[in-house]
Structure 1
Amino acid sequence: MHSSAVFLIEFGAIILGLGLLGRLAARLRFSPIPLYLLAGLAFGEGGLLPLGTSEEFVAIGAEIGVILLLLMLGLEYTASDLVSNLRTQYPAGLVDAALNALPGAAMALLLGWGPIAAVVLAGITWISSSGVIAKVLGDLGRIGNRETPVILSILVLEDLSMAVYLPVVTALLAGTGFAAGSVTLAIALGVAGLVLLLAVRFGRHISRFVSTDDPEKLLLVVLGLTLVVAGVAQQLQVSAAVGAFLVGIALSGEVAEGAHHLLAPLRDLFAAVFFVFFGLHTDPASIPPVLLPALALAVVTTLTKIATGYWAARRAGVSAKGRWRAGGTLVARGEFSIVIAGLAVTAGIDSDLGPLATAYVLILVVLGPLTARWTEPLARRLTGRLTGPRTVPGTLGAGGAETPAPDPAAAVRDQDPAGRH
């Protein structure tokens, strides 16, 4: 009875605190994610007041939070949208891997950690946080923007790549032979391909099976189906996030709209729990010794992610503003990076790898919402200062000063076809 009361008090205090932090962030017109993370640091390992009885429940809630974030993203797009974007954006996925994995591998080799650690750190710096980015897109009201499909295509390509990468890393860390590693990889690829095929080919039938006029039944069926698919995918060495995203892709029409409306409050609750959980498992004392290399790596890969998003959005014909927004939004790292680092720590790879990965992710998970919000305005201001105002020779304004010339091309370039900025 006593432990049950303590659990209710602890978990209730977490939810209440998240609500107050969310209200503060709303007043400041700022994403609440960094505040959630700092709250986790304050009450986690080595923090001011570590939690006890509610930790296991918070861990489960964090997993559900990531799953719901990806499900809600999937509900925004149809299977045909997904296939079309993947076909057109796969070069961006290759550029993304090259620009963002190489700095991590180079850092590991410079620190003398060896080739296996280099493969691990390459994955940590390569993969963006789908959970954080999904939350940021919702907070900033950018789900319908023209650059968002480009961002999601890169995220999906990264998540699908994890179906290949994670089994390879697991085999390397375990020291298993080539045959065993190949079998694990083949199973992962087969499951990912099967789920994608079912989502694309039988999406209408799945929507018809799920469809109901009763909101309660719709909520239970959609949530249950998502958790089952995510769990099976994870059990078969495929990301649970990929499974949840593909369930959202498979649902369409009125079912998708109804599920989105019903699941939005649950998503917000469990997504907040996910970010708190991330901070709870970080000991602040382990960060200072590796802060400088983590900071250097964060600076480099922030620039490479911005370059990746800018190039991909430009290739897709998105306006200049949208290109900068795409680049800034992709900066955040999160759940996948921590999973990869956890595998390495469990396998006994260099003891500094875990703290460095934690410090790196913490820097970018806090910086990511800021770059998503401010990269485009900052780039616009800097480019304006570099180029200066354009003038029409001989045209004088008040006081004899030349007036800036209108730039029709810039006006067209800065205006999205859908009328968004």
Structure 2
Amino acid sequence: MDHLVLEIGLAVTLIALVGLIANKVKFSVIPFYILIGMAVGPHAPKFGVFDFRFIESAPFIEFLGRLGVLFLLFYLGLEFSVGRLMKSGKNIAVGGTIYIIINFTLGLVYGFSLGFPLEETLIMAGITTISSSAIVAKVLVDLKRTANRETEMILGIIMFEDVFLAVYISILSGLVLSGSSSLGGVLLSASYALGFMLLVLVVGRKAVPLLNKILNIRSNELFLLLIFGALFLVAGFSETIHVAEAIGALLVGLVLAETAHMKRIEHLILPFRDFFGAIFFFSFGLTIDPTALGGAVWLSLGAVAITLFGNVLAGMLAGKSAGLSPKASANIGLTIVSRGEFSIIMANLGKAGGLMELLQPFAALYVLLLAILGPLLTKESKLIYTGMNKVFRFDRKKAKEKEPLKEPDVSN
């Protein structure tokens, strides 16, 4: 197909159709968007003389998908505020550290136990450690859990992961691509990432009175132009200093959530979030080659199993460290179990370094499985926690901890 507008029209129609099917069967739309993308992507098989694959339009659809990630994270940031997030700074640092240590260690153990070389194992650990900001944001919004207490920790872990990702990619790029890694370069990259986040949050909070005046505009057109300009500038700049553009979008949302115009921004941005968010998951499916997944089935299933275990364990420990209930703690682990864009980035780094070809189909199938399981587990978190509670008796332990000490019987 040579007509870009026609292909985009077909893509949107397909997305709408599978969305209707998902709503009909009352299941998360995310896996449906990804699967239809796989079915019509450049890597999909051609059926006879008919070629319904999205080839020429794939790069443009991918760009629209990138915008979808920005809108998803921006909207999620609007549901919070800088002040609310910074109050939980210590808990987030502890919880994020717990999450990274557990999942990264399990990834290393898994790779080494299967006999993978050091570089391949490091790539595999990176693939299995970082959760998908886009999927997590989509699920939180769809399930209306942005007001939940544990969502602060979930957001914090996402941001904490990005600092880790900046450091880790710096190390791996030096190791895999050039055979060496400069400690100074790694520290500089980490300080850039952390410093930029803190700067935006602190300066943004101080600038709220000024932002209230600037955004006091009647015209929705000019209002949106200002919002979009700030969103794309900050997100684009963040990428230039090795902070994920999605985190830049999240930071803008957190800052604007402090303003008096938050409700207006939220209302106007909602259609863009939904439209471009759907495009993102479709574009993600376009990148997956379904014919290359077969050789990585058992490897991916094993990785999914250790990820589920690691996430639930990390969520329980991170939630406990923040004083959250066992149920809220379980929600943390089940919500951030999805893997996505960052895992694919890690796999592409391995490809660029000439490492094992198995890494790419492994990452694709692993991400696909968790993109399907993640939203489902989050939606059914209450049922899952009930089952866990029957085995581990979390509520009974909590009751014993609160039970007051009995006075000794001195009647005799």
Common fold by TM > 0.5: yes
Structure number with greater CO (CA < 8 Å, separation at least 6) is 2
Question: 1:88 maps to which residue?
Answer: 91
| Residue identity in the other structure for 1:110 | S
Distance 2:354 2:142 in 1: 39
2:242 counterpart SS class: coil
Match of 1:245 among 223, 242, 250: 250
TM-score, normalising length from structure 1? 0.86
Structure 1 330/198 Cα, relative in aligned 2: closer, same or farther at 3 Å?
A: closer
Counterpart of 1:33? Answer: 30
TM-score normalized with structure 2 length: 0.88
Partner of 2:63: 60
Aligned mate of 2:217, from 212, 215, 233:
212
- Residue 386 of structure 2, aligned match among 375, 380, 397: 380
How far has the Cα of 1:133 moved from its partner?
0.6
- Structure 2 contact 91–321 (Cα < 8 Å) conserved: no
Structure 1 residue matching 2:88: 3-state secondary structure: helix
In the alignment, is the contact (CA less than 8 A) between 1:328 and 1:376 conserved in 2? no
Identify the match of residue 340 of structure 2 among 334, 338, 341: 334
Give the residue type in structure 2 aligned to 1:105.
Answer: L
Q: Which amino acid aligns with 1:64?
A: L
1:101 to partner: Cα distance: 1.0
Q: How does 1:194-213 map to 2 (within 5 A)?
A: 194-205=196-207, 207-208=211-212, 209-213=214-218
The CA deviation at 1:226 is 1.1
Q: How far 1:20 sits from its partner (Å)? A: 2.3
Q: Read off the aligned partner of 1:308 and give its amino acid letter.
A: A
- CA deviation vs aligned residue, 1:173-201 (integer Å, no higher than 9, x gap): 2226444x633651452254134223223
The answer to whether residue 9 in structure 2 is matched with residue 24 in structure 1 is no
In the TM superposition, residue 111 of structure 1 has moved relative to its aligned partner by 3.6
- List alignment gaps of at least 5 residues for structure 1: 391-407, 413-421
1:167 equivalent in structure 2? 170
Percentage identity across aligned positions? 32
Runs of 4+ aligned structure 1 residues displaced above 3 Å come to: 110-113, 176-179, 208-211, 381-387
1:251-306 CA distance string (max 9 Å, x none): 12323222211111111111111111111111111111111011011111111101
Query: Is the 2:76–2:141 contact (alpha carbons within 8 Å) kept by the matching residues of 1?
Result: no
User: Quick check: 45-54 or 367-376, which moved more?
Assistant: 45-54
- 1:220 maps to amino acid: L
**Inter-partner Cα distance in structure 2 for 1:210 and 1:176:** 50
Deviations 1:322-381 (A, max 9, x none): 222222111101111111111111121111111111111111111101111123213314
Contact 1:332 1:367 in 2 (8 A): yes
Distance 1:31 1:84 in 2: 33
In 1, the alpha carbon distance for the partners of 2:127 and 2:273 equals 25
Alignment of 1:13-162 (within 5 A): 13-48=10-45, 49-162=52-165
1:142, 1:148 within 8 Å by CA — same for their partners in 2?
A: yes
Q: For 2:137, give the aligned amino acid.
A: A
Q: Which amino acid aligns with 1:375?
A: S
2:95–2:319 Cα contact (<8 Å) kept: no
Aligned with 1:227 (options 223, 229, 232): 232
- Is the CA contact (8 Å cut-off) linking 2:163 and 2:190 kept in structure 1? no
The 8 Å contact of residues 163 and 192 in structure 1, kept in 2 or not, is answered as: no
1:356 equivalent in structure 2: 362
Quick one: which amino acid aligns to residue 304 of structure 2? A
Shift of the 282–326 alpha-carbon distance from structure 1 to 2, 3 Å rule, reads same
Instruction: Tell me the equivalent position of 1:267.
Output: 273
Report the residue type matching 2:127 in the other structure: I
Given that 1:39 and 1:279 are in contact with CA atoms closer than 8 Å, whether structure 2 keeps it comes out as yes
Q: Which deviates more from structure 2 when the two are superposed, residues 59-68 or residues 372-381?
A: 372-381
Q: 1:157 to 1:385 in 2, by over 3 A?
A: closer
Inter-partner Cα distance in structure 2 for 1:267 and 1:326:
23
CA distance in 1, matches of 2:292, 2:190: 34
Distance 2:79 2:268 in 1: 14
Mapped to 1, the partners of 2:357 and 2:167 lie a distance apart of 26
- AA of the residue aligned to 2:41: G
CA distance in 2, matches of 1:275, 1:302: 22
Question: Which AA in structure 1 matches 2:217?
Answer: T
Equivalents in 1 of 2:186, 2:220: separation in Å? 40
Match of 2:313 among 307, 328, 341: 307
Q: What letter matches 1:22 in structure 2? A: G
Aligned position for 1:321: 327
Spell out, residue by residue over 1:26-81, the C-alpha distance to the aligned partner (whole angstroms, 9 max, x if none).
23332100111111111113325321222111110111111111111111222122
Residue 403 of structure 1 corresponds to which residue in structure 2?
Answer: none
Instruction: Return closer, same or farther for 1:120/1:86 CA change in 2, 3 Å cut-off.
Output: farther
Number of the residue aligned with 1:395: none
Contact 2:106/2:310, CA 8 A, preserved across alignment: no
Q: Distance between the aligned counterparts of 2:57 and 2:26, measured in 1?
A: 31
8 Å Cα contact 1:104/1:125 also seen in 2: yes
Q: Distance in 2 between matches of 1:327 and 1:50?
A: 37
Code of the aligned partner of 2:349:
L
**What is the alpha-carbon distance in structure 2 between the residues aligned to residue 162 and residue 255 of structure 1?**
33
Unmatched runs of 5 consecutive residues or more in structure 2: 46-51, 403-412
Q: SS state of the match for residue 202, structure 1?
A: helix
Q: Does 1:276 align with 2:289?
A: no
* 8 Å Cα contact 1:73/1:134 also seen in 2: yes
Counterpart position of 1:193: 195
Work out whether residues 204 and 250 of structure 1, in 8 Å CA contact, stay in contact via their aligned partners in 2: no
CA distance in 1 between counterparts of 2:175 and 2:148 reads: 40
Counterpart residue number, 2:406: none
- CA shift, 1:213, in A, is 3.1
- CA offsets per residue over residues 383-407 of structure 1, 9 Å max, x none? 34887xx9xxxxxxxxxxxxxxxxx
